[in-house]
Amino acid sequence: MKKVNVAILGATGAVGREMLKVLEERSFPINTLKALASSRSAGKALPFRGDEVIVEEATDASFEGMDIVLGAASNEMAKRFAPAIVKAGAVFVDNSSAFRMQDDVPLVVPEINPEDAMKHHGIISNPNCSTIITLVAVAGINKVSPIKTMVASTYQAVSGAGANGLIELEEQARAYVDKQPIEARVFPHQIAFNLIPQIGSDTGNGYTTEEMKMQNEGRKIMHLPELRVTCTCVRVPVMRSHSISVTLRTQRKLTVDEVRAAVAAAPGCRLVDDLENKVYPMPLDTSDQDIVFVGRIREDLTCDDGISLWCCGDQVRKGAATNAIQIAELLVK
């Protein structure tokens, strides 16, 4: 692969730092690297390939000469700088939700729809973290028989809310043990030893913005415009790695053996499914790596064409940083 000039917009956040780590791990062909953030982070040093990269304040001029810009910033920051990135001739691989549902912006999971990345007009969107993990788990099944519906419940780790989510869970757990007052600042309620069945804001139909992403993004990524999804998103007191329970219906009835074979053969998946020996996907086993583990595969007892499964994946890596860099690798190739 040819060497390219890369910038990370939002380099000091949890996803931005993970992007630096993944770029190094995957030996991404970098000629020059820029770490960009807000003015308050300018001057910070971030480790990279045995050296350091100094954070610069992001301005419209920052993107001149860049080939690829990896976005790890807020929607507002992504919208603010997207015109300058495109004008500079770079491709913006954006992790925010700012452009995901725009018709002219590809929404890409490289294991599923890599060809869509080549249809960009300067911006490619990274999907929602839970969407990525779930669709990687079911994409092989969809190839065997198209998926008609999905019922999903997500169990999302506190790291999905950024570094402060991790800190809050640790502080609350310590306060609980020490019998001290528990404060909730990042999450709307205490998260330690609790579950919070809301992620995202109310859309007016009883679902949250996070819950609607599974259907809306799933339709676009898998090219299934009629896909129907009902989803419940729950924040759980887990440090890292999201888990999702999925029941799906396919056009033709599939056997459990067919589904297991499809999952085992699917790129980015690992079949981890041995209930008798207590072997199944868990957050602790799937953290800090890029494979989606899939298990608990069984027939849905409520309908003839349904399959239920359980999957886990690291939302900071495959759900964000690694997926974006895999998209960048498609561009370089």
> Which amino acid makes up residue 171?
E
DSSP structure string for 55-120? EEE--GGGGTT-SEEEE-S-HHHHHHHHHHHHHTT-EEEE-SSSSTT-TTS-B--TTT-GGGGGG-
201 plus 226 within the same structural domain: yes
Question: In the chain, how many domains are there?
Answer: 2
pLDDT at res. 163: 87
User: Which tens digits make up the pLDDT trace of 12-22?
Assistant: 999 999 999 99
**Domain at 80, CATH number:** 3.40.50.720
pLDDT at 105: 98
Same domain, 188 and 250: yes
Q: What is the pTM of this model?
A: 0.96
Residues 19 and 143 in one domain: no
The per-residue pLDDT string of the chain (333 residues; one tens digit each, 9 = 90 and over) reads 689 999 999 999 999 999 999 999 999 999 999 999 999 999 999 999 999 999 999 999 999 999 999 999 999 999 999 999 999 999 999 999 999 999 999 999 999 999 999 999 999 999 999 999 999 999 999 999 999 999 999 999 999 998 899 999 999 999 999 999 999 999 999 999 999 999 999 999 999 999 999 999 999 999 999 999 999 999 999 999 999 999 999 999 999 999 999 999 999 999 999 999 999 999 999 999 999 999 999 999 999 999 999 999 999 999 999 999 999 999 998
The CATH number of whichever domain residue 207 belongs to comes to: 3.30.360.10
- 161 and 308: one domain? yes
The whole-number pLDDT of residue 67 equals: 98
Residue 130 · residue 214 · CB < 8 Å:
yes
Residue 174 pLDDT: 97
Do 143 and 104 lie in a common domain?
A: no
88 and 151, same domain (yes or no): no
Task: Give residue 92's domain range.
Answer: 4-126+320-332
Say how many Å lie between the first and final Cα of the chain, rounded: 6
Same domain, 54 and 140: no
Q: Quick one: which of 255, 253, 261 has its CA closest to 294?
A: 261
Same structural domain, 142 and 81: no
Catalytic residue annotation = 129, 242
How many angstroms separate the Cα of 94 from the Cα of each of 15, 115, 263, 295?
11, 17, 28, 30
Are 141 and 60 in the same domain? no
> Can you tell me the distance from the alpha carbon of 198 to that of 227, in angstroms, rounded to the nearest whole number?
23
DSSP element (H, E) containing 299: strand 292-299
Do residue 93 and residue 151 come from a single domain? no
Instruction: Name residue 85's amino acid.
Output: I
Same-domain check for residues 97 and 234: no
Based on the fold, state whether residues 189 and 47 are members of the same structural domain.
no
